[in-house]
Amino acid sequence: MKASIVAVAALLCAGAVFAETPPAPAAAASHMDNLATLLDLTDAQKAQVQAVLQQEHAKMKEGFEQAKASGTKPDWQQMKALHQQIQQETLQKLQPVLSATQLKKFQIIQQAMHGHGHFGHGGPSTTSAPPAQN
């Protein structure tokens, strides 16, 4: 229980830092270049994907700031729900831009990133089985 509370607190702190500080331009450019290589994007696709991902980041930031402005900190479940909603919107926006193969690769990359990012740690998992009892 104590570990869960600490993990949620760390998640909220990480979310606050993530929402308040935009990625460094060099880091964002490098991330986009890597994504373009992995998905084999054309220059036109790269520009469109970058615009969609910037909108996704802005929405996450806006959602966190709205919760913060209301005087309450969002809990882990609220942040996860917001994140999932924005991810679905992002996928819908990318469908006309990416091929079916590229979209599937994007989803795999997204899952891998979020499995190792701040949304993948500390909170209850809804997809994994509980640990075995010995």
- Model confidence pLDDT, tens digit, residues 30-58: 889 999 999 999 999 999 999 999 999 89
Domain boundaries, the chain: 2-116
Q: What is the pLDDT of residue 90?
A: 93
On whether the CB atoms of residues 32 and 50 are closer than 8 A, the answer is yes
Question: What pTM was estimated for this model as a whole?
Answer: 0.62
- Model confidence pLDDT, tens digit, residues 12-35: 444 444 444 455 677 778 889 999
Nearest CA among 52, 55, 63, 65 for reference residue 20: 65
Q: What is the percent of the chain where pLDDT is above 90?
A: 34
- Model confidence pLDDT, tens digit, residues 101-133: 999 999 998 888 876 554 444 444 444 444 445
Rounded CA separation 57/18 (Å): 9
Residue 59 predicted with pLDDT over 80? yes
Rounded CA separation 41/44 (Å): 8
